[in-house]
Structure 1
């Protein structure tokens, strides 16, 4: 009784009946309430829950989940799964536990502070203009599609969902407002990854190519379609067209997403700043763009030092001229006074 009274005084008391709910039952209820999830994200959540979370935690009461046991679970997953997979499963589990805390079923989220495996990023691959040209030529009749990916930086889903009415040839802009995804074999149209629309500039030569590509199509028609006139699916396009073209162009192992990296690289080389690249690619923030492409911008420390040096030299030169002008004025005035006297 005394310990319960202390818990109440500290605001840490929870109803024992609520905390006896098992993790399996709680997650089943929690996932149904996540109405904000995009279809593809929900599928990924479901996979993590079914494969990594429930096999260990399904029958464990929420009250019995401890920090050390969560750490042991992460360690066990890390022995057989990639770090990214482990971190994703942990994130889903931690979100569910946080919701349980808000629902008064746990005192705190015991998953907080659990050590996670590090993700080692692979070096990004950036194509040159010549390599983009070779790939596009090898991928005909989808050469224009390749150049849109490489020079506009669209995600595959955004490209596949691009409609004729979103191509502004006069302003040389692509209005990116929706994306298409594959969910359990079905094609689903929805918002972009960040749920934001954006306007992407395109070079003049690409606008001319797109004018040809959309000629004779209606405003609601898709710009790029499969040979059968259906929505382009990455799972079909890659083996039938892209992978073969990459091998033919001497670029084996290339992926369509690496053309998005290429767009960032070519834009920076052309003088684009980090904010422009962020807007073009549709990143949530400029900080994210720097995290992903920091190496493209360089630190420019030598340039900063040079510009500071030039500023100080100019200031000193201006100061010396000002002092010299003042001395000349005083000499002239003094001489005139002497003559007058």
Structure 2
């Protein structure tokens, strides 16, 4: 049973002695009213106040929090955010190095300068909302306004740190949750037709097969550039994707695909013939697509030297086409060919079908009339 009570310390001889001592030394005497209670673990807790009204307010709040399961130990709430953030970051061992670098950058340049010395229990929803607003209006570290996606990413770091504080018992609820965030800009997707893909591939010369492969499988650049000979099955027309290259500040490192899961991706039979020279007679551990001198292709080099030139030669400039947007082309061509959302989800390596629908849902044809007509036909069949 929840029990919170107020103790009048004026009845205690030791308290009266302390008051007299304080008066003689011309110091503020200790608080007369002590609120006492037991926390959920059974530990005795207390807080003193000079005024009875303040003690009454505290008692009511503690009683409410204990009964509602929202009790927060005042001592843990005084923990500075920096003392929560560092253990949180150290525990993020599941992140790829590139993501860790981004989180570290956000912590050091935006989160800790504002919140590092603030007790987690003193951070309010309103304060976080004001801070997010300033991130949108003030210049960033580079002197330019931060993009909406960057602001959302910085907020995510603070949100995650405070969520760690909740899970470790230093907060009862996360004040950064549901804070208004800048809207993401509309996606600028580019969907090439079969003819346009072929024009681009022909303009790319020796890189034509790679262009076609990206446009018909939907692999991310990081996945395609790390694909090895042993992961291509020409007979089954499958590419097994289980690793990806990550460019971490000029250093390529191998890791898992973005979702952390391997997948098998189909490709059209015409690509089997094109991929045959890339596979036959080569060791299973060799890369399928390589730079001229061997070794992995670097996007930072391949994009300006090969891709952009091919885009211009194919007459496709002005459409903001990038290698990654060939992934959108693969999705659109698969949907147009009749692939359902689950097939496209597995093909692209999305974690959930909802993500696929969120990005490409508008590409699926409206089948409402088709369903209504089928219901008409079935009703007529059963009633005649």
TM-score by length of 1: 0.88
Deviation of 1:177 (Å):
0.8
- Give a deviation string over 1:39-81, Cα, whole Å, max 9, x none: 2221221122223212321222222211110010111112232
- Give a deviation string over 1:107-148, Cα, whole Å, max 9, x none: 321112211121132342100111111111111211111111
SS in 2 for 1:221: coil
Q: 1:148: which partner in 2?
A: 213
Q: 2:253: which partner in 1?
A: 188
SS in 1 for 2:205: coil
The partner residue of 2:88 within 13, 19, 30 is 30
The partner residue of 1:296 within 357, 363, 375 is 363
- Give a deviation string over 1:218-261, Cα, whole Å, max 9, x none: 10000011112121111111011111111111112310111100
Q: 1:7 to 1:102 in 2, by over 3 A?
A: farther
Residues 1:214 and 2:279 aligned together: yes
**Pairwise mapping of residues 92-107 of structure 1 onto structure 2 (< 5 A)?**
92-107=157-172
TM-score by length of 2: 0.78
How far apart are the structure 1 equivalents of 2:83 and 2:308?
44
How far apart are the structure 1 equivalents of 2:84 and 2:353?
37
SS in 2 for 1:275: helix
Deviation of 1:15 (Å):
4.5
Deviation of 1:17 (Å):
4.3
How far apart are the structure 2 equivalents of 1:73 and 1:55?
12
More contact order relative to length (CA 8 Å, sep ≥ 6): 1
- Give a deviation string over 1:134-166, Cα, whole Å, max 9, x none: 111111211111111000110111001100000
Deviation larger for 48-57 or 138-147: 48-57
Q: 1:257: which partner in 2?
A: 324
Q: 1:339: which partner in 2?
A: none
How far apart are the structure 2 equivalents of 1:284 and 1:8?
38
The partner residue of 1:223 within 265, 269, 288 is 288
Residues 1:50 and 2:113 aligned together: no
Q: 2:354: which partner in 1?
A: 287
Note if contact 2:84-2:164 (Cα within 8 Å) is conserved in structure 1: no
Deviation larger for 255-264 or 50-59: 50-59
**Pairwise mapping of residues 113-152 of structure 1 onto structure 2 (< 5 A)?**
113-152=178-217
- Give a deviation string over 1:291-316, Cα, whole Å, max 9, x none: 11001113311111122222223334
Stretches of structure 2 that go unaligned for 5 or more consecutive residues are: 1-33, 36-57, 138-144
Deviation larger for 281-290 or 151-160: 281-290
Deviation of 1:105 (Å):
1.8
Deviation larger for 29-38 or 69-78: 29-38
Q: Count the aligned residue pairs.
A: 317
Q: 1:326: which partner in 2?
A: none
Deviation of 1:28 (Å):
2.0
**Pairwise mapping of residues 236-275 of structure 1 onto structure 2 (< 5 A)?**
236-252=301-317, 253-275=320-342
How far apart are the structure 2 equivalents of 1:306 and 1:191?
46
Q: CA RMSD in A?
A: 1.7
Deviation of 1:207 (Å):
0.7
SS in 2 for 1:141: helix
Residues 1:307 and 2:374 aligned together: yes
How far apart are the structure 1 equivalents of 2:350 and 2:70?
40
SS in 2 for 1:54: helix
Deviation of 1:16 (Å):
4.2
Deviation larger for 163-172 or 6-15: 6-15
Q: Which has the higher helix share?
A: 1
SS in 2 for 1:142: helix
